[in-house]
Every structure is written in C-alpha cells, then in structure tokens.
Structure 1
Amino acid sequence: MASYHYQQSQDPGGANFSGVPSVVPIPGNDQQPHVYNVASQFPQNPNAYSRLNESAEDYNYIDDDYETSLEYDDGDESRCSEDGAMSLSGAIASGLDQLGTPHGSAGSNNSIPQSAGGASSSFNGGVPVSSMINGTRSRAEANMKHRDKKQVKLIGMEGEKSTKTTRKTVKQKTSPTIDLPRLFSKLKEQKSNLLDVRKEHIASLPSSIKELTNLETVLLVSNRLATLPPEVSHLVKLRQLFLSENLIVSLPPEMSKLSASLAVLDLRHNRLKEVPNVIYCLAALKTLLLSFNKITVVDDTIGNLTNLYTLAFRENHVTSLPNTIGKLTKLQNLDMSRNNLSVLPEEIGHCTHLTSLILPHNQLESLPASVGKLTQLTRLGLKYNRLAEVPESLSRCVLLDEVNIENNLIVQLPDGMLQPMKHLSTVVLSRNAFEALPNGKPDQYKLLATLEADRNKITRIPFGYFSKAENLSRLNLENNQLKSLPLDFNTWRSLVELNLGTNLLEKIPEDISRLEKLEVLILSNNQIKKIPKTLGDLYRLRVLDLEENQLETLPQEVERLQNLHTLLLTSNRLVNLPRSIGNLASLQKLMMGENNLNAIPEEIGNLERLEELYINDNMNLHWLPAELTLCASLQIMSIDNCPLSQLPEEIVFGGPSLVIQYLRMHSPYRSGYV
C-alpha cells in the first residue's frame, strides 16, 4: 500500500503540551521571508462530504476502515472514510451489473453521465512521521500541527506577508433552473429511456412524467423533493431510480405497480424516519440503498425482497434486524454500520451468499454462532462495537482476507481461529484488551501482509511466532507492554514498517541490521539508552523515530542512512550530535528539541535538503553555527527556550528569521548570498 492511514496517537488532542515551540518561516537566499500557503497547509475540502463527486471505486460496501477521507465521531480516529456507502456512479454501475446492462448505458442510445472523482486534499506540512504505520502518531507529531498553526499566526503578527481568504457570499438558488414540462415533452418525443435532472433544485415533479413510459433510468439526485407524484407508477419500464440527497419523507403507495421492474432504488441522504411501506412491495429490487437517514425500525416484511443483492442501512438509528432477514438468501452485501444494533439475529446464517457483512460502529455485544455458515464472506467489519469475544465458528469463514475487530473488549481469539483462513492478508486487533497475540501455528500468517495489534496489553512475542510470515510487511505493536524482542527478531526480514513505540523496551538487538527492507522504524517512548551501530546498515530506512527515550549519544554509523528523510530525536538526553550527521544527504526533517545539546555541529550546513529543524528547549545551547545558513532548503526552524546567550538578545527575541539573517550577515559564507 503506497499511502498511509492517519490516526491519532495515545494523546489524541496533541494540543496542550507545555513548551510548544514557536515555528516561523526562514527567509531564503533572497532574504525575503518564505510565506507558507495557508490553504495548502490546512486544506479545506468542500467536497469532503460530497456524495456525488466520488469515484465509482468507492462501491464495494467495504467497511469504512479501508477508505481515506474524513471521520468525525470517533474521538481519536481519523483514518476512516466519511462515506462508506457507494457513490452514485458506483450505484449505477452496480445496478447495471445486476441487470446485465453495460456500464455507462441506460439503453441503446442514452449514456449515463459519469460523475467526476472528488478532489482530495492532503496535509502538506511535512512527513507525518510516526503515522507511518497504520496511522499511529507520536506526541511530537501531534505537536506539529499546532506548531504549524502558530506559525501561520506568527506570520501575521510579525508583519510579514500574510495570506487572507475573502469569501464571496453566493446566493443559493431556490427555484428550479430547468423547464420540466418542456423537457418531458422533448424526452417523450425522443422516446428516451433516461431522465437526468440532478442538482436542479426541483421541489416537485409534474404529473406529465407519466407520459415518459420508455424511461428505464431516472436520476433526481440533489434536488428538493419531499416525495414523488403518484403518476410515477406509470413508468412500467423503470429499472433504476436514484433519489439520494433530497428531502424525501415518504413515497406514494402507487409505486407498488413498479414491483415487476424496479431493480435499483437509491434513497441515501434523505429525511426518512421509517422505511416507506411501498418499498416492501418492490419484489424485483436487487439494490436498496437507505443509508444516511433517520430510520429506527426495519419491518418483518423486509423478507419479501427475496431478490436483493445489496442492502445498505448505514448511519441510521436501527436497533435490531428482524428474523426475516434470513429470507434474503441472494443477499451478497449488507451494510448496517453506524446504527444502534445490540444483537444480530441467528437467522443471518441463512444468508449464505453474503460476501460482505459490514457492522462497525454499533453496540454489538456478541455474534451468533450461525455467522460461521457465511462461508462466502471475504469482508467482515466488526470494529467499534462492544464484543467481548467472537464465536469459534468464525473459523469456517475461510475466504476472509481481512479480520478487523478494532476497538472492542476482546481479550483473546478462539484458539487457532485464524489457521484455516488461507487468504488472510490483514489482521487488525487494535484497541482491545489482548494480553497475548492470537494462538495458532506460525503458518496462520503465511500470506499476512499487515498485523496491527496496537493499544493492547501484550507483554511478549513468542519465539518463532512470525517464522512463517514471509509476506509480513507492516507490523504495529505500539502502546503495549513489551519489555524485549524475541531472539529470532532478525528473521522478520520482509518487514517494511515496524512500530514498537510506547512500550517498555530498553535495548534494540544488534542484529536489527538483518531487516534489510525496513523503511519506517518507530521506537518512540520506550526506555532505550543506546542505539546499536548496526542500525546504520538499514540502507532503505526513510523514517526513524527515537523520540522520548533515554539516549545520550547517537552512533557515527547513522551517516550510512542515505535514504533517511525524517529523524526524530525529541525528548532524549543528547548532549551532542555526531559530526557524521552532516552526511545524511536526504534528510528533510530533523527534530532534536528537549535534549541537553550544548552545540550543533558545523556539518549541519551540508544538509542541503533540510526543510525543518527543531532544536527548541535545549537549555545548554548558547550558540548556533554560521553553517546553518548553508541549509538552502530550510523553511521552518524552532529555537524556543534556547538561551543562545552568545547572540544579541534583541536578535534572539526577534525569532528564527532574524537569527538566520544575523548569522548570514556575520558568517564567512556571506559572499555566497550576494
């Protein structure tokens, strides 16, 4: 996976730490202050909650663990998708798949418009250091966002060029922008099978819609409809009806006349407080999308919809499912995420064609044993519930490629539960009460690529536990109670990302050099006093997080880490840095605040790619080398709470920008800037 999830650390807010250093831009060689683009630092994405500008790839009814966007109600979780339901284009594609019609076509002559993919924004304030492994992030990284915010504020305070955004008030259109009777007349003349009037502020449809008897697909997305006219029942060929993002509170009972034709009904993002009774009469339905409403009850008559392939109730207020759910024997995708379910009926086991069962963010305390009958499942979402255990029968779901039980109350999995799951590539056990890793033979992880077991109470890793995990590339054991690593630690050679932060480790094995593929290594917040010289052999390492340990020195051999772009040394006991640090040609971010540094080596001037330097809160640091001015890419620097007594007081008081200018004016390298 090329991209990394973002997730809060054990200190989610990351805001109110004492001694947060001031961060200001550093002027470039032209001695003009570098001003960050505020919009790029703190992007505002107006489409973050858009339901239409998503790509069709979003349609898979997978758990919202696996998307990247916005999460708004989990407190310390920010790596989840805002909208796990399918996009409009995805819903269309799904309906056409089930109807046997080629994608993008609603008939022989009319092509369905495909919505553009929504633009996404990303934080541009540097490498999200400790979030590299499954979104975990250290205290210093949490601090960074607030430093950047302070930086933006300081730009304005110092009178330097600031960026202000003036918003123009745009009057919302409240009346339709289209002449529907005229349009209907034209469509009738053309015998069209497609009606597409999205985002037209339509509050009602004229009764003349009954004359469009050739319609097969109707798109009324993003209007102001509260209901439909009874005349819609005349559209006897209608197969797909998209009504998402309206104000619908009811549907006319006359729609029951569409029971033989209507296969796809999309009512997401409306104002339904109950499922309209007429829906239970639409026996031909294959896709029913009711997500993002206020529905509290699912009626027993849901069992009438025996042709359903996809059923979505995401983000409603449903407290239970009726036993008749078991009659939906063709059902393949069921999304009940973000409801108030406390129990799942035993009859769910009759839905033997289910491939995706999405149940996160409910109040489930147990699962029925019948879930083991769902042997076609490839995706099971159970995160953020109240499960104390999972049934042993789950081991019969051998096609699962991912097990995610994050944020429950589980202490242990049934013995050998993962063993039969030969397709398993991802296991997420985070935020539970595990005291040990799951029992089972080593080959249970033969195909495993990712294991996340952070924020548990795990005390040890058994010898040979990962001996068969030949594909394991990401291992996250952050925030546990590990005191040591197993003797066969050097056999974890497939690892690319390893997070052992916030444990009780006192040393790192010398043979860490055997982990030749390692690119991200997080050891923050342990009790490590010494780093082995062999660490320098990890030539692929890009991120090294050693903050909040007890380090007094760094080995000279770190100079061999030629691909390292982020080095975190904050909150240790460092008195000095090796001169070889100047050989880290790729280094872009160096954080060494809150140490005991009494000098910065002159070789720091060799770091031509260095963009961010944090040396704040070093109480013995009285001078900065003139070579600092040679760091041509330097944009951000923090010197808060450093005495710097050998510099003029008024210069230090003026902040990093003034300090750099002073060093430049008094350095032997000044001629290089003329």
Structure 2
Amino acid sequence: MDFNANLKNLTKMRELKLIGMRLVEIPDTLPVSVEILELGNNNITFLNSKSFAGLTNLTQLWFSRNCYYGQPCKKRMNILENTFADLTKLQDLDLSFNNLSFVPKGLPQSLSTLNLTSNGIQCILKDDFSALYNLKILKIQGNCPRCENSPHPCLPCPNGSLEINTDAFENLTQLEVLNLAGNSLVSLNPSWFKRLKKLKSLLLSENHLFKAVTGEATFLRHLPNVEMIDISFNYNPKNYPVKVKLSKDFSNLVSLRTLHLEGLVFQSLDVNTLSPLH
C-alpha cells in the first residue's frame, strides 16, 4: 500500500496522529483539511517552508521528541525561517525535546501556546517572540538545566545559564503562564515582567535563585495578578541555612494563592519565613 497516496485521499480528515512511525520527513501528501497534527517521536530533523505547505486549517501541531536523549539523532534540529508561513490559524505549537539551538524564526502570530521545553536553546533574543501578541502560554523550561541529581542524561549549559534579552517578553501582553524552570538562572531581570500584567502563573523551579527570592526581588513588583509562583528546588549546593525569610517584595503579590517551596532546603520554619505574605 502506498502510504502517501492513502493520506492524500483522506479529504475529510480533521485529526491525524503519526506518532512513533520513524518518519524522517514530513509526508508531502498530508490532507489540507487536517486541523490537529501529531508528529511526535519520529526522526524528523529538518523543516522548511515545504514541510507544512497548504495546511492552512491547522490549529494544533505537536512536533516533539524527534531528537532528544531518548531518541538521539546526533545533530541539531534545523527549522528554517518561514517553515510555519502557511499556518495562519495555528494556536498550539509543541516543539519540545528536539535539540533546537535557537528559537525558530517566523512563528505564527496566531499562537496562543508555545512549548520549547528541553531543547538546547542557550539564548532568547529580543525579537524571538516579538510578533506573538496573542500568546498566553510560553514554556521554555529545561533549556539550560541544573545537572546535579538529574534523572536523565544532562549536559551543562555552555554559558552557565539561559541568556534572555531584556526586552524578550515585551510584546507578550496577553501572557498568562510563563515557565522558566530548569534554566540555571541566577537572577531575574525586572524588565522581563514589566508588561506581563495578565500573568497568573510563574514557574521558576530548578534554577539558582535562592538569593533572588530571599534578597531584593524587584521583579515581584510587576506581578500584581500572579496567583501561582513556583520557586522550588532553588537551593544553593552545599549551603543549607537553618532558617529562611522570603524577600519583602513578596508582599507585592496581592493575588497570590499558591506558593511552591519544595526543595528550597532549609532546616526550620519560623514566624518570619513567610511574613512578607501576611
């Protein structure tokens, strides 16, 4: 049976799952009617403007785990500019676990969710997300992980931590969820958060932010609507204080409902530990 020919005949297909089929390229006969496309766990390492040409009805694209420690490809994923040019209705894009070295150029302005988890991205540039005015969920965790006690193969980030341009999130005014966990961050630039007035969930676990959340934390002054913040596992290796007091700037989180402190590592909780939240 001709796989490509059969695909072309599926003219009423709305959802298509081609997961774990060992594909090395995108079939060029995908039905133009498809709205949800899953291509995870294949061996596709190159995408260009022809890869999704004509798929103008696509709203969800799951393209994860095509190149990672569980399915090694021994090279970087290469996504050329304008790969997603025809996907003007795309809302959800998952590119996690693909060994990307940079944020792909020309991402659709229609996106509401973007997942770039656990690639090899070392730097977030000023214009990487500048056109994503409708984005509500951004996941860029695990691109520069802490490798001590890692449950899976882990390569330390060459630069020590993920580098994020001061204005990288400037146009993400609709953002509600931002995941920066596992990027070996040692500080948080207040400018990242100045225009994120709708942010509700901020995930910062598994970084090196112990001082950033117990000392001066001016970034918290820009997050009046945050309801959940996760600062777990931000301990300093070989430094286990008896007591900890959260930064006085936590008092600015007037909408906070959930706070994660797991693995922050200190010996005792007293009346002052959470006093800024009173």
Shift of 1:426: 1.5
Provide the aligned length of Structure 1 versus Structure 2. Answer: 239
**Counterpart of 1:252 in 2: which secondary structure?**
helix
**Counterpart of 1:467 in 2: which secondary structure?**
helix
User: What is the aligned counterpart of 1:312 among 46, 62, 69?
Assistant: 62
1:308/1:404 Cα in 2 relative to 1: closer, same or farther (>3 Å)?
same
Q: For 1:601-626, what per-residue CA distance to the aligned partner results, in whole angstroms no more than 9, with x for missing partners? A: xxxxxxxxxxxxxxxxxxxxxxxxxx
User: What is the aligned counterpart of 2:46 among 287, 297, 303?
Assistant: 297
* Structure 1 contact 367–390 (Cα < 8 Å) conserved: yes
Counterpart of 1:337 in structure 2: which amino acid?
A: S
**Equivalent in the alignment of 2:109:** 352
* Structure 2 contact 208–234 (Cα < 8 Å) conserved: yes
Give the distance between the partners of 1:255 and 1:326, measured in 2 at CA.
Answer: 21
Shift of 1:341: 1.4
**Counterpart of 1:253 in 2: which secondary structure?**
helix
Counterpart of 2:219 in structure 1: which amino acid?
A: G
In the alignment, structure 1 residue 394 sits paired with structure 2 residue 169 = yes
1:343/1:309 Cα in 2 relative to 1: closer, same or farther (>3 Å)?
same
In the alignment, structure 1 residue 474 sits paired with structure 2 residue 258 = yes
Counterpart of 2:109 in structure 1: which amino acid?
A: T
In the alignment, structure 1 residue 508 sits paired with structure 2 residue 258 = no
1:441/1:473 Cα in 2 relative to 1: closer, same or farther (>3 Å)?
closer
Pairing 1:137-148 to 2, within 5 Å after superposition? none
Give the distance between the partners of 2:273 and 2:9, measured in 1 at CA.
Answer: 73
Give the distance between the partners of 1:360 and 1:256, measured in 2 at CA.
Answer: 32
In the alignment, structure 1 residue 452 sits paired with structure 2 residue 230 = yes
Shift of 1:406: 0.9
Shift of 1:478: 5.0
Uncovered stretches (5+) of structure 2, i.e. residues with no partner: 68-75, 145-160, 237-243
Q: For 1:404-445, what per-residue CA distance to the aligned partner results, in whole angstroms no more than 9, with x for missing partners? A: 111112233332322322222221111123341453363x23
**Equivalent in the alignment of 1:381:** 139
User: What is the aligned counterpart of 1:321 among 72, 79, 87?
Assistant: 79
1:314/1:404 Cα in 2 relative to 1: closer, same or farther (>3 Å)?
same
Give the distance between the partners of 2:267 and 2:202, measured in 1 at CA.
Answer: 24
Q: For 1:189-212, what per-residue CA distance to the aligned partner results, in whole angstroms no more than 9, with x for missing partners? A: xxxxxxxxxxxxxxxxxxxxxxxx
Give the distance between the partners of 2:183 and 2:273, measured in 1 at CA.
Answer: 36
Shift of 1:297: 2.8
**Counterpart of 1:431 in 2: which secondary structure?**
coil
Give the distance between the partners of 1:254 and 1:425, measured in 2 at CA.
Answer: 45
* Structure 1 contact 447–469 (Cα < 8 Å) conserved: yes
Give the distance between the partners of 1:461 and 1:372, measured in 2 at CA.
Answer: 33
1:512/1:453 Cα in 2 relative to 1: closer, same or farther (>3 Å)?
closer
Q: Relative to total residues, which structure has the larger helix share, 1 or 2?
A: 1
* Structure 1 contact 320–343 (Cα < 8 Å) conserved: no
* Structure 2 contact 47–83 (Cα < 8 Å) conserved: no
Give the distance between the partners of 2:274 and 2:64, measured in 1 at CA.
Answer: 45
1:356/1:300 Cα in 2 relative to 1: closer, same or farther (>3 Å)?
same
Give the distance between the partners of 1:427 and 1:315, measured in 2 at CA.
Answer: 25
Shift of 1:337: 1.4
1:510/1:396 Cα in 2 relative to 1: closer, same or farther (>3 Å)?
closer
**Equivalent in the alignment of 1:436:** 212
Give the distance between the partners of 1:343 and 1:474, measured in 2 at CA.
Answer: 32
Pairing 1:170-319 to 2, within 5 Å after superposition? 229-230=1-2, 251-253=3-5, 255-258=7-10, 261-279=12-30, 282-304=31-53, 305-317=55-67, 319=77
Please give the TM-score of this superposition, normalised by the length of structure 2: 0.73
Shift of 1:301: 0.6
Q: Relative to total residues, which structure has the larger strand share, 1 or 2?
A: 2
Give the distance between the partners of 1:511 and 1:265, measured in 2 at CA.
Answer: 51
Counterpart of 1:389 in structure 2: which amino acid?
A: E
**Counterpart of 2:66 in 1: which secondary structure?**
coil
Please give the TM-score of this superposition, normalised by the length of structure 1: 0.32
Give the distance between the partners of 1:514 and 1:385, measured in 2 at CA.
Answer: 31
Give the distance between the partners of 1:295 and 1:511, measured in 2 at CA.
Answer: 49
User: What is the aligned counterpart of 1:409 among 167, 170, 184?
Assistant: 184
* Structure 1 contact 388–411 (Cα < 8 Å) conserved: no
Pairing 1:362-373 to 2, within 5 Å after superposition? 362-368=119-125, 369-373=127-131
Counterpart of 2:259 in structure 1: which amino acid?
A: L
1:355/1:515 Cα in 2 relative to 1: closer, same or farther (>3 Å)?
closer
RMSD (CA atoms): 3.1
Give the distance between the partners of 2:59 and 2:266, measured in 1 at CA.
Answer: 46
Q: For 1:45-84, what per-residue CA distance to the aligned partner results, in whole angstroms no more than 9, with x for missing partners? A: xxxxxxxxxxxxxxxxxxxxxxxxxxxxxxxxxxxxxxxx
Give the distance between the partners of 1:452 and 1:326, measured in 2 at CA.
Answer: 32
* Structure 1 contact 478–503 (Cα < 8 Å) conserved: no
Counterpart of 2:124 in structure 1: which amino acid?
A: L
**Equivalent in the alignment of 1:331:** 90
* Structure 1 contact 334–358 (Cα < 8 Å) conserved: yes
Give the distance between the partners of 1:286 and 1:457, measured in 2 at CA.
Answer: 43
Counterpart of 2:116 in structure 1: which amino acid?
A: L
Q: Which moved more, 1:467-476 or 1:394-403?
A: 467-476
1:510/1:357 Cα in 2 relative to 1: closer, same or farther (>3 Å)?
closer
Pairing 1:148-159 to 2, within 5 Å after superposition? none
Larger RCO, structure (CA 8 Å, separation 6 or more): 2
* Structure 2 contact 250–277 (Cα < 8 Å) conserved: no
